[in-house]
């Protein structure tokens, strides 16, 4: 098998895409757009957004990079063996599939299909990680400029998620990553770069053998873990908000989630319970779980339940490769268990009661922990004292295991009769020691949430919250087809903020873009139920707060 290479990288490769990154949840960032968030070494006074490097950063902070290990990489072309770092990356276009990337001490970089895509940016991040972990750079090494920007990006992502508030930190980190990739530790210049010295190779054309030394991937997605990995190096970003307030700005909140469920879930997960979250859609079950994972420094792995799921979507499968071979590809459950052998993992099963019975039964046996003695008798090569979760992979005969204390399982579901779901098996239900019910926040808390998350304030924000509450009352009485959930309310508020909507007509026009079809329904011709929509507009007028 030959090892492919693309030849030399050039700066222009990183700025080819010039459209908004909507497919990555970043409609507010456009490839190649000029900005003023400059890297410290940027001597030009201007910068442009590299779509590929922005994608790499988003993939890293959102948990797509896992299982970072020191490895031996052997090349088929010449038999040479080099030490390097490898990482598994969840593919953005197909989250159930993974790719491997690597870099070696000999400036060989492995990415899927030798393509100069966002995977190159991920390898550049690994290169910066290797610089601080294994070489202990001096305080004046430019790698700290990148890590300071990355740390700031993590903090802003933990506070705001993929909102427009993230843009300044994201563009700064992308410019710092570009300068690290192009110049590494040398001064920035226009003529001399190191891109021509990098051998970009097909990651599938080499054999990687982990040495057993793993680096925590948590450092790329949790600010506390990153600071620990960097050993309190000279980061220049202060994570304290400028106004002196704490990250929990809303009364009764848990890292931006309002309501009593926040501390309940945190306490249960911290105590080792597996948790079931029950409640209507849009009440924050997913958001809260993500915040608990961040606060607890868990690697987060998600399974999205849906009709038609097969084993591949949960356990994995043997799949054909481009070179004609076939190999096993882990699904999210197996990926979570492998990661939990080394690091704390939170497995989130969203919409669990939409998973077909054949697949959901996998969890019944897997969530029954076994003692070390039982594992030994069954020939399962576990390490440690246990108990352990185990899972047999029928297609390969392998039994995957992990210490039960390393894996927390949180499942969520909408259990109302209006949802097309399966009944939860009583045996599986008993595997969850804590059940937390979710409801929509009280009006005062929801108003505070709208103001904090969207920047919409005053009478318009209050009016939106009141309309949402009225739809919930009417829906409970069977007078509407649905109601405005909290997630839709925040989306509505953002649109009103962006369009400066301040009148009844303008606010309702924005609402029609978000929730009208779900809330008022459609008639037999497929048109919106105008009578119900007009009634909501009349209710908004009756409040007397908007012109």
pLDDT score for 249: 45
Greatest C-alpha distance within the chain: 79
Share of the chain above pLDDT 90, in %: 38
**Which distant-in-sequence residues (6+ apart) come within 8 Å of 397 by Cβ?**
none
Overall average pLDDT of the 229-254 stretch: 52
Burial class (CB in 10 A: 0-12, 13-18, 19+), 400: buried
Chain position carrying tokens 């929801």: 446
- Please state, rounded to an integer, the average pLDDT across all residues of the chain: 84
- Which has the higher per-residue pLDDT, 2 or 365? 365
pLDDT score for 235: 62
Overall average pLDDT of the 104-121 stretch: 82
Asked whether the predicted pLDDT for residue 112 surpasses 70, the reply is: yes
Q: In this predicted model, what pLDDT tens digit does every residue of 336-356 receive, in sequence order?
A: 999 998 889 999 999 888 888
Q: In this predicted model, what pLDDT tens digit does every residue of 26-75 receive, in sequence order?
A: 999 999 999 999 999 988 888 999 999 999 999 999 888 877 888 888 88
User: 437: which strand partners?
Assistant: 278
User: What is each CA distance from 486 to 381, 466, 469, in whole angstroms?
Assistant: 47, 12, 10
Question: Which of 6-15, 212-221, 330-339 has maximum average pLDDT?
Answer: 330-339
User: Could you tell me the pLDDT band of residue 306, with boundaries at 50, 70 and 90?
Assistant: confident
User: 110: which strand partners?
Assistant: 102, 201
Taking the model in full, what pTM does it have?
0.57
User: Could you tell me the pLDDT band of residue 97, with boundaries at 50, 70 and 90?
Assistant: confident
CA torsion, points 267, 272, 273, 276, in degrees to nearest 10?
80
User: Could you tell me the pLDDT band of residue 417, with boundaries at 50, 70 and 90?
Assistant: low
Overall average pLDDT of the 95-114 stretch: 81
Task: Using alpha carbons, select from 170, 128, 149 the residue that is nearest to residue 40.
Answer: 149
């Amino acid at each position: 098998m030959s090892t492919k290479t693309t030849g030399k990288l050039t700066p222009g490769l990183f700025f080819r895409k010039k459209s908004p990154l909507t497919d990555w949840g970043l409609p507010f960032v456009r490839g190649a757009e000029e900005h003023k968030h400059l890297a410290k070494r940027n001597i030009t006074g201007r910068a442009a957004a590299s779509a590929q490097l922005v994608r790499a950063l988003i993939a890293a902070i959102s948990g797509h990079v896992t299982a970072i290990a020191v490895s031996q990489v052997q090349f088929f072309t010449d038999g040479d063996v080099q030490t390097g770092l490898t990482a598994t990356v969840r593919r953005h276009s197909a989250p159930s599939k993974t790719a491997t990337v690597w870099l070696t001490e000999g400036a060989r970089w492995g990415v899927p299909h030798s393509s100069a895509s966002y995977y190159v940016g991920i390898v550049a991040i690994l290169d910066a990680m290797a610089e601080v972990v294994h070489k202990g750079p001096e305080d004046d090494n430019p790698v700290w400029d990148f890590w300071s920007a990355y740390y700031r990006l993590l903090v802003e992502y933990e506070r705001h998620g993929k909102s427009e508030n993230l843009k300044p930190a994201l563009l700064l980190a992308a410019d710092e990553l570009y300068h690290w990739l192009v110049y590494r530790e040398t001064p920035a210049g226009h003529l001399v770069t190191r891109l021509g010295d990098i051998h970009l190779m097909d990651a599938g054309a080499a054999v990687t053998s982990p040495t057993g030394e793993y680096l925590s991937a948590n450092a790329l997605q949790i600010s506390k873990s990153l600071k620990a990995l960097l050993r309190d190096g000279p980061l220049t970003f202060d994570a304290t908000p400028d106004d002196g307030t704490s990250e929990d700005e809303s009364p009764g909140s848990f890292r931006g989630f309002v309501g009593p469920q926040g501390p309940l879930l945190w306490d249960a997960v911290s105590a080792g319970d597996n948790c079931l979250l029950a409640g209507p859609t849009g009440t924050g079950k997913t958001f809260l779980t993500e915040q608990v994972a961040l606060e607890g420094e868990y690697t987060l792995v998600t399974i999205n339940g849906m009709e038609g799921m097969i084993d591949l979507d949960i356990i994995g499968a043997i799949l054909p490769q481009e070179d004609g071979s076939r190999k096993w590809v882990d699904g999210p459950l197996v990926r979570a268990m492998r990661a939990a052998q080394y690091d704390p993992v939170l497995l989130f099963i969203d919409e669990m009661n939409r998973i077909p019975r054949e697949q959901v039964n996998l969890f019944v046996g897997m969530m029954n922990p076994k003692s070390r003695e039982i594992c030994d008798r069954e020939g399962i090569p576990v390490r440690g004292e246990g108990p352990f979760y185990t899972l047999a992979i029928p297609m390969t005969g392998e039994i995957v295991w992990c210490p039960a204390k390393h894996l927390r399982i949180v499942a969520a579901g909408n259990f109302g009769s209006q949802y097309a779901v399966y009944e939860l098996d009583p045996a599986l239900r008993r595997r969850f020691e804590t059940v937390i019910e979710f409801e929509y926040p009280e009006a005062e808390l929801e108003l505070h949430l709208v103001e904090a998350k969207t920047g919409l304030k005053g009478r318009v924000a209050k009016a939106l919250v009141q309309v949402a509450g009225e739809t919930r009352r009417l829906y409970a009485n069977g007078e509407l087809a649905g109601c405005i959930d909290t997630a839709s309310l925040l989306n509505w508020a953002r649109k009103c903020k962006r369009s400066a909507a301040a009148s009844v007509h303008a606010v309702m026009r924005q609402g029609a873009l978000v929730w009208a079809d779900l809330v008022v329904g459609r008639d037999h011709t497929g048109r919106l139920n105008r009578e119900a929509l007009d009634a909501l507009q009349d209710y908004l007028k009756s409040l007397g707060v908007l012109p």
